[in-house]
Structure 1
Amino acid sequence: MTTSNPFPLPAVAWSRPLGLGWSDPYRVRYASNLDDGPHHGMPLGGFGAGCIGRSPAGDFNLWHLDGGEHCFRSLPACQFSLFEQVAGEAPQAYGLGTPEPNSSSLSTWQWYPPSTPDRSTGVYQALYPRSSYTYDGVFRSALTCTQFSPILPHNYEDTSFPLGVFDWVVHNPLDRPVTLSILLTWHNSAGWFTNTRKSPDIEIRDDGSPVYDYQSAWGQSEGNVNHSLTTDQGMGLVLDGNRHPGSTAAPQEGEGQWAIATANPRHPSPDFPQDAEIFSHSRWDPQGDGGELWQTFSRDGSLVNLADGGPAAAGEQVAVALAVRFTVNPGQTVRVPFALAWDFPVTEFAQGVTYYRRYCDRWGRDGRNAWAIACHGLQQRDQWQQQIAQWQDPIVGRSDWPDAFKMALFNELYLLTQGGSLWSAASAADPVGQFGVLECLDYAWYESLDVRLYGSFGLLTHWPDLEKSVMRAFARAIAQADDRPRVIGYYVTQGQGQVLAPRKVTNATPHDLGAPNEHPWEKTNYTAYQDCNLWKDLASDFVLQVYRDFYLTGSQDLAFVADCWPAVVAALTYLKGFDQDGDGIPENSGAPDQTFDDWRLRGISAYCGGLWLAALEAALALGQVLKTANLPLDSVNAAALEPTLAQFRTWLTQAKPLYHATLWNGQFYSLDSESGSDVVMADQLCGQFYARLLGLPDVVPEDCGRSALATVYDACFLKFHNGQFGAANGLRPDGSPLNPQDTHPLEVWTGINFGLGAFLLQMGQRDQAFRLTETVIGQIYNNGLQFRTPEAITAVGTFRASHYLRAMAIWAIYVVDQQVNPK
């Protein structure tokens, strides 16, 4: 028998007293944007498999099981409960979610008391992909439940599994035996997670972004059935949808099953309680008072064993229950595992556009494999926890990194599961499948290229093949065209009426890879807030990410370079077309035409111009790779290679001195060449950062870069509310705003700040880098924004665009640290 938890979460994990409310959390800036409140916890589920979230209060409340769609509401019957009786004392039993249901359902249940500011009843901890609940001061036993999914770096199979594992560790510190029973109940929601509006209407919101009406089949359970199963690998229940058991038809979106399982006492692990009794109840009413379970469970920890496979009638819903009862002797510690799996293999976008999920490559496509997945989780749970610890321990053990940074490094990866992520089954064209994460849930389109310039470092570091699959999708899309006109939302917000623009111009680099209501990867440029065909950063962003993904993965993947090279040439050539005066640098038009899409830049801009210079350097490096490859690369026009590189050199030679001469003001680089603004743009030298990251020549003289960075740190961070919030995007050198009513300049963008932290570290400003980074982390994790990190926060306690992709830029700090301070 084990004497302690063999896989405790490290002390750096984010923690919160169980069920403790938030007195003054951040609130959403725009009324139409998403604000589900602060009760968010770590998600369970593999990449692209759909996921569920469980809050620090213990309730399951987030359901991202329809690819790209968001559903946030608590299901009280999806819950752990616990019975305890110390020998010679009265028993006690609680449902372990601290909030009571809002309706009259489960009214017979007693709910675990939440923590208060004066009394903690336990602690929630999270270090993605593991989180834990430790219960204290209510039960006499020492109880911890660790939950996780097998999110494993460089593992392209297990990381896709639709699975959560719950590892209960129970210790008896008393001098008398204790009888306990752990109950897992689950609501059969098979069939709920699909859009019942197959042709959703699209409209422009008050913030100018397009949105469509999504309506799930929530609560539609007619025909759903449950049944018990016992195998050598486990005991538990399967919750099926309303498909006929003998049907061979391919499942539709939402069709499939759930499974819950625990160990079979006949084949236990060494630390499973030897006297364990398993109780299984296959059909009860989750909308009723719950008495059919609670009457016996609260009395002695048992359930009435019931094997009722009757289907749910119209208007009826059904749930299941699985309990493990056992005795723990004085001083003894036991472990009790549970697994929760789901198998909903199909994602449908526009009506008739369907993909199978990546996990189907291992588990099949018929939607009847939840039990096998759950049992596999029980068998592999210790191996997976060991692998997660081996991944995390070297980072957690870094004494030169702040604990908050180490915590946020892992927890910000949550978005790869929770961010509406897609991961399709493999194909000949895409051997690891196609991957995508939404920009955010408010701006619901995939892999926004300007945002992932910052936010893709986590994916690149741990799953580089998925990162390259995204860039190959952009490369394929650049040559495509879509002439359909659509309304540009920005002009609607400005009161200028319906300004129309074509969706996608040939050779324009697309902003994104499409949206969940259309056909991701095929129909790109979904966003209509601005005309992205006119943006001056996207082509540069594409080229820099292609070279980055090659360079930072060992500079060996020549096939990747060859696949992307034609798009590199097309993208830069298209962008050069915006160089109206032929001086070598494309000019910004005065409309917001870059990632700061509420911010007007005119003429040569520090941001876009610097990216352009770095992208030309990256393109020259890519071309040199192809010149010396000496391999049959069918996609490369060898005869055109040298003339193309000569053209790029000419542009670079012309542009580089002009950029510095035009924008350098003796202290920092001016916002642009035509507005006359004296604003210090926080991200003015993103191009310089990328050039140094990739071992390319500097975009600006080093002393000028250092001066500009010091000015940004002082004006945008230290002088912005005394450094309490992070760096605002743009302030005057004295820290004052150009316009107090500005939007983007006065916001603190979490991902831009993490990018600045990486730049500071790159330039040897280690203390400043971590001071800035820790400040932003504190704003997120101390104000109810955990596991829904926004794009932007403000100094008045509001946020915009939660669940945002750019925040994974925190991994850029890790990457830079490996370069400047390798261990």
Structure 2
Amino acid sequence: MLPLILRYIWYYIKYKLTGKSIVMDYIVFRGQNKFMYWKRLQGEFCRFQLRPGIYEWNTIDANQFIVTIKDEHQLTIFHSLLSTYPKSGLKAWKSYIDSSRCHYTGLYPRSWTEYDLTDYGIKLCCRQISPVIPHDYDSSSLPCAVFVWDIENVSEKERTVTIAFTFKNGTGNKKGDKTATCSTKEFTYFNSQGVVLYHTIDKMQCTYVLAARADDGVEISKCLYFDPNSDGSKPWMQLKNYGEFKENSTTVSHGHIFGEMGCGIAARATLAPSEKRELAMTLSWDMPVINFPGKERKYNKFYTQSYGTENAGLKIINVAFRRYSEWEQSIYNWQKDVLNDSDLPDWYKSALFNQSYFISDGGGVWLSLNEGEAKTLPRSDPRRTYGRFAYLEGHEYKMYNSYDVHFYASHALHKNWPYLQKCLQYDLRDYVFVEIPNKVEVLDNGHLVERKYPNCVPHDAGDPGEEPFIQLNAYPINDVSNWRDLNSKFVLQSYRDAIMTQSGKPDLQYMTDMYNACYTVMHKSMKYDRDGDGLIENSGLPDQTFDTWCLLWGLWLAALQVMTIMADYLGNLDDKKRFEDILAKGKKSFEEKMWNGLYYNFDCSKTQSATIMADQLCAQWYLRCCGIKDYTIFPKDHVTKALKTIYENNVQSFCNGKMGAVNGFINGDVDTITLQSQEIWTGVTYALAASMIQEGLLEEGLNTAGGMYKSMTELFGLSFDIPEALYAHKHYRAIGYMRPLSIWSMQIALEELKSKS
């Protein structure tokens, strides 16, 4: 890998000097100083992703919840931040919370934090609700969060409780940017009151709305401005002394400034002994129109179809206050069958839902098509209704819809937001036929290659630092137009999405819409079968998702099988016969060349063939995910033996069986031929576990995934920052990654197993 490393360093220097977007940053790692943050969950606001494709990992001292408790004589008996994260600024703001008396529970997209303040006569619980709700596309598109404070007076005296919510203009203005102006104004809108904070970010208007619900007996006060770079004593002492913000009653707005500004709201209620009350607060961040760096083309966010591009933030907080109870119930209904299943271990219940964070925290953009674009599409195209959805491969790997990885992650969308999955597929279908002839240098060997060849599936939909959806294939390492897995993965996903529908009936219109592209890419892949044995060969270079490891597993055969089924459905009998003939030849060759009695060899070489690869049955896993229960390609006894061999070696013989499945294992030890053979890929481990469950190896599947998840969260502290890869000793690569969404294939397998019992 040394030549690649040297070329990468030169590439990095050139791109830094010219201000170009670096797609895969191996020099500055995101979140490298946040190792313990996700383990502690100390109540701070961290990780902003407002500008498309750009993560900012700043922890914002000014973004806080503050509690003030007064006794029956209106004397302040407790005043504190409701986080325990150490601050660097706002020195007057203090935390007196005893963290041992706080308890956080996360079941994404809801969570709750309990604060035991019985020494002061109060118990608090903050329920946090994000409207990320399966099959509810309107709610799931809304940029908002609801914080519901349940307050209980456990004393024998009256208590007055104030909850204040403060917020700054995003992560602030960088490098004295004079275009990034800020201003605030207060508002009353239906049954809510609050503050609107306007902030220009890279010439894009972002509006934050902080609001509290104006219930009977609730007093709301506002702070329209405080300096987040001061010691913060003015708003702090107002809350401590009065239990409210003391703004001049004639002040209704705070004008434009070029610096950083904070604002806040406070809700106050008085509780009799044993009384319980609820205070509801909402934050909305409304950036309705976006563009990518240096590009003039503008895109509207999907939610603007319903809420417009003007003052959408106020409309959104109104909807949030009206519907958050409904959202909370919908989320509970979605989760309850899993949570109430006594046969499932607790770690799995946590993993399934909390690892779904990446659906909304994956740097995604959900855009509406403009009217002209939508009118050119046939009525069967879901993009007319649901727009365009794209999410990043990872927080450090800035490529939208990296298709080799999405293949694993797509189960989360297919299961919960199937129309978003279909919209993504329609985009990929169109990209198949695109050609981008300009030459780019690939870092693996320094060759100049065409950026995108026609008649093949692209690696990705582009880099948000360029012009995504137009400049495809931002991935810089290899010539992805000749990758061996992308075409097969497109065919398999197209089939699954057409067959495994909510109604239980095949979507033949969707299958028809995808068929030509599927046929085209299969025809393109046939040229890789140089010896006519029905199998496509590796190029001699890494040319699939394991991009430092030369291999080729059975995806091609699985794609052939589903092509025969699709051709049959659509009456293309000549195509069916052709694919059946190739499949019969390829299956025979695969068994003769690869099966060794215990597992499928890594390849046909003399040096590497003995490697036990954790992902060797990826094709069989996907066929089962597609509802195909026969063993047309891989004999059942071979599948079972291979899975048991992987479990005994890659899982149980690695880190005492407590780290998941290492990618490669050879001669009784980890295969060290390349970096990736030594890694545990979180998404591959979940896929392997799902495959085990599909084949009746339930205990092995749960042990495989459970060991990895518990190590990842309890030892590594990466609960909401799931990386692509783990190593044996507290190292990881590519934080915040797409592939672990493959855990939803475990849920699909478990549901199938449950239906049989």
Whether TM exceeds 0.5 here: the answer is yes
Aligned to 1:107: 91
Q: Give the distance between the partners of 1:377 and 1:162, measured in 2 at CA.
A: 10
Q: Give the distance between the partners of 2:321 and 2:179, measured in 1 at CA.
A: 28
1:143 paired with 2:124, answer: yes
Q: 1:610-629 deviations in whole A, cap 9, x for unaligned?
A: 111110011111112212xx
Give matches, 1:709-748, under 5 Å.
709-732=643-666, 734=668, 736-739=669-672, 742-748=674-680
Q: 1:277 to 1:737 in 2, by over 3 A?
A: closer
Q: 1:650-695 deviations in whole A, cap 9, x for unaligned?
A: 2112111111011111111100113542110111111122223324
Aligned to 1:576: 526
C-alpha contact (below 8 Å) 2:58/2:171 kept by paired residues: no
Aligned to 1:340: 283
- After TM superposition, give the deviation of residue 299 of structure 1 in Å: 1.8
Aligned to 2:699: 767
Aligned to 2:559: 615
Which of 473, 477, 495 in structure 2 is aligned with 1:525?
Answer: 473
Amino acid across the alignment from 2:212: T
- After TM superposition, give the deviation of residue 733 of structure 1 in Å: 5.2
Q: 1:599 to 1:189 in 2, by over 3 A?
A: closer
Give matches, 1:267-416, under 5 Å.
268=215, 274-306=216-248, 307-314=251-258, 316-350=259-293, 351-366=295-310, 368-416=311-359
Match of 1:293, SS? helix
- After TM superposition, give the deviation of residue 155 of structure 1 in Å: 0.8
Query: Higher helix fraction: Structure 1 or Structure 2?
Result: 2
Q: 1:29 to 1:234 in 2, by over 3 A?
A: closer
Q: 1:191 to 1:567 in 2, by over 3 A?
A: farther
Which of 128, 133, 141 in structure 1 is aligned with 2:113?
Answer: 133
Aligned to 1:638: none
Match of 1:401, SS? coil
Match of 1:455, SS? helix
Match of 1:167, SS? strand
Unaligned runs of 5+ residues in structure 1 are 1-27, 43-54, 193-215, 243-250, 269-273, 492-497, 628-640
Give matches, 1:168-179, under 5 Å.
168-179=149-160
Aligned to 2:736: 803
Q: 1:759-804 deviations in whole A, cap 9, x for unaligned?
A: 0001100111111111111122212111110010000210001111
Q: Give the distance between the partners of 1:378 and 1:256, measured in 2 at CA.
A: 21
Q: Give the distance between the partners of 1:400 and 1:815, measured in 2 at CA.
A: 15
- After TM superposition, give the deviation of residue 599 of structure 1 in Å: 0.7
How many residues matched?
710
1:814 paired with 2:747, answer: yes
Match of 1:136, SS? strand
Give matches, 1:64-213, under 5 Å.
64-87=49-72, 90-103=76-89, 106-113=90-97, 115=99, 120-136=100-116, 139-189=120-170
Q: Give the distance between the partners of 1:648 and 1:111, measured in 2 at CA.
A: 67
- After TM superposition, give the deviation of residue 563 of structure 1 in Å: 1.4
Q: 1:583 to 1:218 in 2, by over 3 A?
A: farther
- After TM superposition, give the deviation of residue 512 of structure 1 in Å: 1.3
Q: 1:393-414 deviations in whole A, cap 9, x for unaligned?
A: 1121111111111111111111
TM-score for both structures, normalised by structure 2:
0.90
Q: Give the distance between the partners of 1:82 and 1:471, measured in 2 at CA.
A: 48
Aligned to 1:229: 187
Aligned to 2:18: none
Q: 1:233 to 1:670 in 2, by over 3 A?
A: same
- After TM superposition, give the deviation of residue 526 of structure 1 in Å: 1.4
Q: Give the distance between the partners of 1:490 and 1:396, measured in 2 at CA.
A: 46
Match of 1:671, SS? coil
1:482 paired with 2:436, answer: yes
Q: Give the distance between the partners of 2:671 and 2:265, measured in 1 at CA.
A: 62
Match of 1:72, SS? strand
- After TM superposition, give the deviation of residue 219 of structure 1 in Å: 7.1
- After TM superposition, give the deviation of residue 190 of structure 1 in Å: 9.6
Q: Give the distance between the partners of 1:141 and 1:324, measured in 2 at CA.
A: 16
Amino acid across the alignment from 2:602: L
Amino acid across the alignment from 2:450: P
1:238 paired with 2:196, answer: yes
Which of 25, 33, 38 in structure 1 is aligned with 2:35?
Answer: 38
Aligned to 1:556: 506
Aligned to 2:536: 586
Q: 1:83-119 deviations in whole A, cap 9, x for unaligned?
A: 012336752211223234313xx2222224463xxxx
Q: Give the distance between the partners of 1:700 and 1:285, measured in 2 at CA.
A: 66
Q: 1:704 to 1:814 in 2, by over 3 A?
A: same
Q: Give the distance between the partners of 1:765 and 1:222, measured in 2 at CA.
A: 57
Higher relative contact order (CA 8 A, sep 6+): 1
Which of 602, 609, 626 in structure 2 is aligned with 1:671?
Answer: 602
Amino acid across the alignment from 1:125: T
Which of 644, 652, 656 in structure 1 is aligned with 2:575?
Answer: 644
Aligned to 1:421: 364
Q: Give the distance between the partners of 2:79 and 2:179, measured in 1 at CA.
A: 29
Amino acid across the alignment from 1:747: E
Match of 1:821, SS? helix
Q: 1:357 to 1:342 in 2, by over 3 A?
A: same
Match of 1:665, SS? coil
Which of 721, 727, 743 in structure 2 is aligned with 1:788?
Answer: 721
Amino acid across the alignment from 1:227: K
Q: Give the distance between the partners of 2:161 and 2:542, measured in 1 at CA.
A: 62
Give matches, 1:403-552, under 5 Å.
403-426=346-369, 427-428=374-375, 429=377, 430-431=383-384, 432-491=386-445, 498-552=446-500
Q: 1:319-341 deviations in whole A, cap 9, x for unaligned?
A: 22211122111111100000111
Q: Give the distance between the partners of 2:265 and 2:352, measured in 1 at CA.
A: 36
Aligned to 1:704: 638
Aligned to 1:634: none
Amino acid across the alignment from 1:657: K
Match of 2:121, SS? coil
C-alpha contact (below 8 Å) 1:447/1:512 kept by paired residues: yes
Q: Give the distance between the partners of 1:688 and 1:322, measured in 2 at CA.
A: 55
Q: Give the distance between the partners of 1:747 and 1:160, measured in 2 at CA.
A: 35
CA RMSD in angstroms, aligned pairs only: 2.2
C-alpha contact (below 8 Å) 1:190/1:240 kept by paired residues: no
Q: Give the distance between the partners of 2:621 and 2:324, measured in 1 at CA.
A: 41
Amino acid across the alignment from 1:301: G
Q: 1:190-249 deviations in whole A, cap 9, x for unaligned?
A: 996xxxxxxxxxxxxxxxxxxxxxxx678768642111112332111111246xxxxxxx
Unaligned runs of 5+ residues in structure 2 are 1-23, 378-382
C-alpha contact (below 8 Å) 2:42/2:84 kept by paired residues: yes
Q: 1:292 to 1:32 in 2, by over 3 A?
A: closer
Between 87-96 and 426-435, report the one with greater CA deviation: 87-96
- After TM superposition, give the deviation of residue 380 of structure 1 in Å: 1.3
Q: Give the distance between the partners of 2:646 and 2:189, measured in 1 at CA.
A: 63
Q: Give the distance between the partners of 1:131 and 1:642, measured in 2 at CA.
A: 53
Which of 259, 263, 274 in structure 1 is aligned with 2:209?
Answer: 259
Q: Give the distance between the partners of 2:489 and 2:72, measured in 1 at CA.
A: 66
Amino acid across the alignment from 1:131: S
Aligned to 1:45: none
Aligned to 2:21: none
C-alpha contact (below 8 Å) 1:546/1:561 kept by paired residues: yes
- After TM superposition, give the deviation of residue 66 of structure 1 in Å: 1.5
Q: Give the distance between the partners of 1:65 and 1:745, measured in 2 at CA.
A: 36
Q: Give the distance between the partners of 2:601 and 2:395, measured in 1 at CA.
A: 34
Aligned to 1:50: none
Amino acid across the alignment from 1:300: Y
Q: 1:190 to 1:259 in 2, by over 3 A?
A: farther
Match of 1:789, SS? coil
Amino acid across the alignment from 1:460: H
1:753 paired with 2:685, answer: yes
Amino acid across the alignment from 2:568: Q
C-alpha contact (below 8 Å) 1:108/1:290 kept by paired residues: yes
Amino acid across the alignment from 2:539: S
Q: 1:436-458 deviations in whole A, cap 9, x for unaligned?
A: 11111221111222212211111
- After TM superposition, give the deviation of residue 182 of structure 1 in Å: 0.7
Q: Give the distance between the partners of 1:344 and 1:252, measured in 2 at CA.
A: 11
Q: 1:367-397 deviations in whole A, cap 9, x for unaligned?
A: x221221122112111111111111111211
- After TM superposition, give the deviation of residue 311 of structure 1 in Å: 1.9
